Amino acid sequence: MTEHLVEPDVPRDLNAFIAGLPKAELHVHHVGSASPRIVSELAARHPDSRVPTDPEALVDYFTFTDFAHFVEVYLSVVELIRTPEDVRLLTYEVARDMARQQVRYAELTITPYSSTRRGIDERAFMDAIEDARKAAEADFGTVLRWCFDIPGEAGLESAEETARLATDDRLRPEGLVSFGLGGPEIGVARPQFKPYFDRAIAAGLHSVPHAGETTGPQTVWDALTHLRAERIGHGTSSAQDPKLLAHLAERRIPLEVCPTSNIATRAVRTLDEHPIKEFTRAGVLVTINSDDPPMFGTDLNNEYAVAARLLGLDERGLADLAKNAVEASFLDEPGKAAIRDEIDRYTATWLAS
């Protein structure tokens, strides 16, 4: 985890522009968004955990050797969330951190299976996230929606449980808009999850699996073909397949790009080697996201600064990038128009000053 969040090669003015820019975020995980303050508070509450209570020690703890190590550490943080009140606190505080970065709308990926299998009552879990969602919108003005994801490595039992929680009318939370698939990709083929995605899609949910984060472009094709993906989480390896890039561009299938995450999990070696520029060159709709921000020593503002440097963007380019996320979101049209207008007004005022 890096401690400073200001992309060093971006002019100070551009960082200030980014800080005030109204934004939408489409790829950010619930537990992965727990700030060091929340993690250390929960760790102190549950001293049997191996997660450090000292925020300084978390810097080392959140340094990953590879993706498997990241998942191991991620699950140790999952273990800290033991009661519905823990769930509510985490969700509400995550929204507070988003609001500080001018995030107006976020689709937060939640893995309900990881909580229910550890003993949190499913009804109480749904009530906790919904209660936090409503309070966050009222208190901070940030609109939250949910993506429930299958932790693929946990097997088809987890897929069945996630599909049940997402489609049972008595449980399904009002804020749920989409269905995902996360965790490691190696050895976790996408096609086996088709029946669960079919059920979720039939229940009106959008399909947004992770694909091409740690495996090649065939995983992205599989997500498109078998899981009917409407957006792709990461999709990093799409850059290796020009036909896939052309397909994503032509069908307007957005990529949820998370540059710093890809470095932190060692999916990509350095930021300069990140394929984001190849995506935009091919005409793919790119959205910028933070994935698991405190674990990766980043936040959404920093990801926009990284994108500005890698893509050579000025204020107008950054505003267009922010509008990509609005366009790719599952907000209704009036909701999209409101954020787009706000981005335009903010940018015009900034450039006139």
Ligand X SMILES: O=C(O)c1cccc(C(=O)CC[C@H]2O[C@@H](n3cnc4c(=O)[nH]cnc43)[C@H](O)[C@@H]2O)c1
Q: Cβ-closest residue to Zn ion?
A: 291
H helix count then E strand count, the chain: 16, 9
Give the relative orientation of helices 156-167 and 194-202 as an angle to the nearest 10 degrees: 0
Q: Does 303 participate in binding ligand X (rule CB under 6 A)? A: no
Q: Cβ-closest residue to ligand X?
A: 183
From residue 274 to residue 293, the character string flagging contacts with Zn ion as x (rule: CB under 5 A) and all else as - is: -----------------x--
Burial letters 143-164, b for 16+ CB under 10 A, else e: bbbbbbbbbbebeeebbebbbb
Q: Which is nearer to Zn ion, 236 or 280 (CB)?
A: 236
From residue 202 to residue 241, the character string flagging contacts with ligand X as x (rule: CB under 6 A) and all else as - is: --------x--x----------------------------
Q: Which helix (H) or strand (E) holds 302?
A: helix 300-311
Look at the alpha carbons of 230, 135, 292, 70 in this order and tell me if their dihedral is positive or negative. Answer: negative
For the chain, give the number of residues.
353
Q: Helical H runs in 62-121?
A: 67-78, 84-100, 112-116
Three-state DSSP class for residue 210: strand
Interacting partner of 153 out of ligand X, Zn ion, none (Cβ under 5 to 8 A depending on kind) = ligand X
| Beta carbon of residue 71, minimum distance to ligand X (angstroms, whole number) | 5
Q: Of 101, 102, 114, 237, which one interacts with ligand X (CB under 6 A)?
A: 114
Q: Does 193 participate in binding ligand X (rule CB under 6 A)? A: no
Q: Helical H runs in 141-183?
A: 156-167
From residue 234 to residue 273, the character string flagging contacts with ligand X as x (rule: CB under 6 A) and all else as - is: ---------------------------x------------
At 138, which amino acid appears?
A
- From 51-59, 139-147, 178-186, 221-229, span contacting ligand X (CB under 6 A): 178-186
What are phi and psi for residue 150, nearest 5 degrees?
Answer: -80, 130
- From 36-44, 53-61, 147-155, 220-228, span contacting ligand X (CB under 6 A): 147-155
Q: Of 14, 23, 26, 29, which one interacts with ligand X (CB under 6 A)?
A: 29
Q: Which is nearer to ligand X, 162 or 347 (CB)?
A: 162
Q: Is 213 a catalytic residue?
A: yes
Q: Which is nearer to ligand X, 10 or 108 (CB)?
A: 108
- From 38-46, 182-190, 201-209, 271-279, span contacting ligand X (CB under 6 A): 182-190
From residue 290 to residue 319, the character string flagging contacts with Zn ion as x (rule: CB under 5 A) and all else as - is: -x----------------------------
Q: Which is nearer to Zn ion, 303 or 315 (CB)?
A: 303
C-alpha dist (Å) from residue 115 to 80, 125, 158: 10, 8, 11
Look at the alpha carbons of 30, 118, 231, 70 in this order and tell me if their dihedral is positive or negative. Answer: positive
At 140, which amino acid appears?
F
Comparing CA positions, the residue from 297, 309, 340, 348 lying closest to residue 55 is 297
Residue 127 CA, chain-centre distance (Å), reads: 22
| Dist. CA 215–CA 184, nearest whole Å | 9
| Beta carbon of residue 211, minimum distance to ligand X (angstroms, whole number) | 10
Comparing CA positions, the residue from 160, 131, 136, 139 lying closest to residue 148 is 160
| Beta carbon of residue 135, minimum distance to ligand X (angstroms, whole number) | 23
| Beta carbon of residue 240, minimum distance to Zn ion (angstroms, whole number) | 20
Q: Does 292 participate in binding ligand X (rule CB under 6 A)? A: yes
Binding site for ligand X (CB under 6 A): 29, 32, 71, 74-75, 78, 109, 111, 114, 117, 149, 151, 153-154, 182-184, 210, 213, 261, 291-292
Query: By the criterion CB under 5 A, which residues form the site for Zn ion?
Result: 291
- Residues serving a catalytic function are 213
